[in-house]
Amino acid sequence: MISDPAAFEHYRNTANEKTTLPRLVLGTGIVVLFWAATTVVVLLGGTYAFFAWRTAQGAAAPAGGMQGFLASPVGILTALASFAGIWIGLWIAMRWVHGEKLSALLGNSRRISRSGFAKGLTAVLVTSLVSEVLLYLMQPEIARGSIALSSWLLFLIPILALTFLQTSSEEVLFRGYLLRGLAYRFRSPLIWALLPGLLFTSLHWSPSSSAAINASVLASIAAFALLLTLVVYATGNLGAALGAHLGNNLTGFLLISHQESYNSFALFTARPLEGPGWATSDAVLIAMIGIACSLLTILLLLHPRSPLRVSAEPADGTKAT
């Protein structure tokens, strides 16, 4: 389905001679440092401000301290805002370590492909619907979420904006900075595709879930990471990957949540994956559904006859739309 790698070859070669392995390690360290620092500042500051505001209003503080705060709607928004640290770290790394503009990571045109973004978003929304139907047939436990429709509409724009902040920062880091930098130094996809994918997947380990559920979720995330890598390879642009990642996370945040700690804004809630009682057979089915839906998304975005097929960005980047 990917017959011409010219777009990706140009994308990988847009890196300059300062894209060495030691500099990539240094740049990644800078990103992690600013991500961690921003997370600490935002979460501690947000928690203190929230508790102070609740006290001033004469209301009881949420149970569980910081964990209780993070499970609240304001806490979720605060946690999403912490991903700004990745963007700050990437800007510093690109500017001072590699001597490049941050926009170089977006694609050959140095802009996000609007058509690729729209197609990636649409494809994942379609396959997310398929996934939810299959999960419902497997475990028909869906309830109306606690948020009122008026509140859901009120928070819709902030959630959209902050979810885009989160997903875009991850894509520019894992499918942009790391993938492009490693591809410039190494020809083998076992290095430039596998290493960022494994790192991205490992960050989704949940200590509150069972080993079987963790394995199933990580398998699904690995398949999704493969999808994101393939569309960057096919297009030489992050647009489709950005849209796909945004569509995936918005489904969980706003429509049907499968995580108890992130269900404050969801219209509906399903049985939480971190909860007890999941059998190994359930975990296997969850993994199969996740992998199958990622493969279906790949077909929608890369098959020659698909109406959502993404286009390779020209080497000169003149037609990014």
**According to the model, what pLDDT value does residue 290 have?**
96
Confidence of residue 246 (pLDDT cuts 50, 70, 90): very high
CA dihedral 232, 110, 165, 126 (to 10 degrees): -40
Contacts of 315 (CB under 8 A, 6+ apart): 6, 7, 10, 108, 236
CA 298, CA 126: separation in Å to the nearest integer?
Answer: 12
DSSP-derived secondary structure for 42-76: HHHHHHHHHHHHHHHTTPPPPTTHHHHHHHSHHHH
**According to the model, what pLDDT value does residue 53 have?**
65
Place of tokens 């396959």: 127
**According to the model, what pLDDT value does residue 320 have?**
43
Q: What share of the chain has pLDDT > 70, as a percent?
A: 90
Q: What is the pTM of this model?
A: 0.91
* Between 248 and 45, the higher pLDDT residue: 248
Q: Give the pLDDT confidence of 62-73 residue by residue, as tens digits.
A: 555 666 666 677
Q: Do the beta carbons of residue 224 and residue 241 sit within 8 Å?
A: no
Confidence of residue 235 (pLDDT cuts 50, 70, 90): very high
Segment among 175-184, 257-266, 286-295 with least mean pLDDT: 257-266
Q: Do the beta carbons of residue 100 and residue 16 sit within 8 Å?
A: yes
> What is the mean predicted confidence (pLDDT) over 252-263?
87
Q: Do the beta carbons of residue 165 and residue 83 sit within 8 Å?
A: yes
Q: Do the beta carbons of residue 27 and residue 97 sit within 8 Å?
A: yes
Residue 6 pLDDT exceeds 70: yes
Tokens of 167: 């997903």
Q: Do the beta carbons of residue 257 and residue 247 sit within 8 Å?
A: no
Q: Classify 110 as helix, strand or coil.
A: coil
CA angle 176, 179, 180 (to 5 degrees): 70
**According to the model, what pLDDT value does residue 238 have?**
97
Residue 9 pLDDT exceeds 80: yes
| Average pLDDT taken over every residue of the chain | 90
Q: Give the pLDDT confidence of 174-209 residue by residue, as tens digits.
A: 999 999 999 999 999 999 999 999 999 999 888 888
Give the distance, in angstroms, between the CA of residue 296 and the centroid of all CA atoms in the same chain.
Answer: 18
Give me the amino acid identity at 152. Answer: W
Residue 48 pLDDT exceeds 80: no
> What is the mean predicted confidence (pLDDT) over 247-274?
89
